Amino acid sequence: MTPLNTLANLHNPALHSKLQAAIDNKTKPPGSLGRLEALAVQIGEILGTDKPVLEHPQMVVFAADHGLTAQGISAFPADVSWQMVENFLAGGAAVSVLARQHGLALTVVDCGVNRDFLAGLPAGTQRPGLVVRKVAGAEHGTADSSQGVAMTPAQCEQAMRNGMELVRDLPGNALLLGEMGIGNTSAASLLLARLAGLDVELCTGAGTGLDAAAVARKCEVLRKVLALHADAMQPLDALAAFGGLEIATMTGAVLQAAAQRRVIVVDGFIASAAVLVAHALQPFVLQRCVFAHRSGERGHEFMLQHLGVQALLDLDLRLGEGSGAALAWPLLQSAMNSCCSIWAYKLC
Amino acid sequence: MLQHLGVQALLDLDLRLGEGSGAALAWPLLQSACAILREMASFASAGVSEKSTPVVA
């Protein structure tokens, strides 16, 4: 992997004080807007100004398939990955609806879905809202991590580089993370177990809707995968061993967004797993992250605890796609508006 | 009070301002709930496969 420039510590005491003083001067008792006030300060610090404005928010949904689905770890068939990509493009998925509601530009990235979305189209044709960034040798998804590594180190690096390049050219100053990939709660559980040093049982949940017996079987599959890759202790080794391509691409996207001082709105369990890897590489990445919600997927609360962060919403969501990030978006806008536009006492 | 009424609130953001500020902040969630009912595709209309029986090895 190309060495990454070390992310700077954003903390700026002078700016922090200025932002806090501005908020304390608003026509309200100090602190009465609760966590919205801390959110306003954080966004101001990320954007490096006491008059922050969120511009051209970009919802990017990273999609890929997982070889581990061959072990029966999901309640839904793997075909749902590509079917849902088509649903995103047709505007009928939850994240499509929520992105429309909140004026979020929606881009779907094919990081390795087992489908050629451009099949039958003339060469060079683009499909609106779709970006194809398949990794060589992994066009149909990752390999089965219960048999070997999900990605080779070169594939993992290519996926991360794809994510970096993609974000580099996006407009605006806010990136909302979404994802789609049947089997990807398993990859996220494996990354959490390994990078946070937790027992895999704490990290394993129902995903799209397994019953208790199936969760127990999924957990045993994951335990064997962890044992097979016992030497994959470093963040990038673990990422390559467990996958997936969408998580690796998203990890690159997070690192790039952080370097560009974009506000990163983190969705649920899978998006947080990408941040978990990025954080292990660059701890200051967390300063740029707003955690949208605490997922109903078992493991997410432990992931948030491990990262030492608190999420904005707690609505028992467990859909992914970026739905929680989209639902939390108006709170960021409200934090900005209340920070910037409630009359200050001194002006009244 | 919420316990006595046997209800659960949508947001938990340590707000204590009043004025209707919390109600206004929660409003987009009501709009989202309605938009999802109105605008989301069904499994059938989107051609998405439904749940299968997992076969864990």
Of all residues in chain B, the one with the smallest CA distance to A86 is: B46
Instruction: State which residues of chain A have pLDDT below 70.
Output: 1-4, 339-348
Helices (H) and strands (E) in chain A, counts: 13, 6
Domains of chain A: 13-52+337-347 (1.10.1610), 58-331 (3.40.50.10210)
Confidence at residue B51, expressed as pLDDT on a 0 to 100 scale: 83
**pLDDT tens digits, B23-54:** 999 999 999 999 999 999 999 999 999 887 55
pTM: 0.96
Confidence at residue A312, expressed as pLDDT on a 0 to 100 scale: 98
CB contact under 8 A, A86 and B16: no
> Looking at beta carbons, which residues of chain B come within 8 Å of A210?
54
> Is the minimum CB–CB distance between A224 and chain B shorter than 8 Å?
no
Confidence at residue A214, expressed as pLDDT on a 0 to 100 scale: 96
> Looking at beta carbons, which residues of chain B come within 8 Å of A71?
56-57
Average pLDDT, chain B: 91
Which residues have C-beta within 8 Å of that of residue B15, sequence separation ≥ 6? A32, A33, A34, A36, B21, B22, B25
**pLDDT tens digits, B2-31:** 999 999 999 999 999 999 999 999 999 999
Distance from CA of B52 to the nearest CA of A (A): 5
Confidence at residue A348, expressed as pLDDT on a 0 to 100 scale: 35
> Is the minimum CB–CB distance between B44 and chain A shorter than 8 Å?
no
Q: Are A263 and A54 in contact (CB under 8 A)?
A: yes
The rounded distance, in Å, linking the Cα atoms of A144 and B26 is 43
**pLDDT tens digits, A114-161:** 999 999 999 999 999 999 999 999 999 999 999 999 999 999 999 999
The rounded distance, in Å, linking the Cα atoms of A10 and A168 is 19
Confidence at residue A2, expressed as pLDDT on a 0 to 100 scale: 53
ipTM: 0.91
> Is the minimum CB–CB distance between B41 and chain A shorter than 8 Å?
yes
CB contact under 8 A, B15 and A32: yes
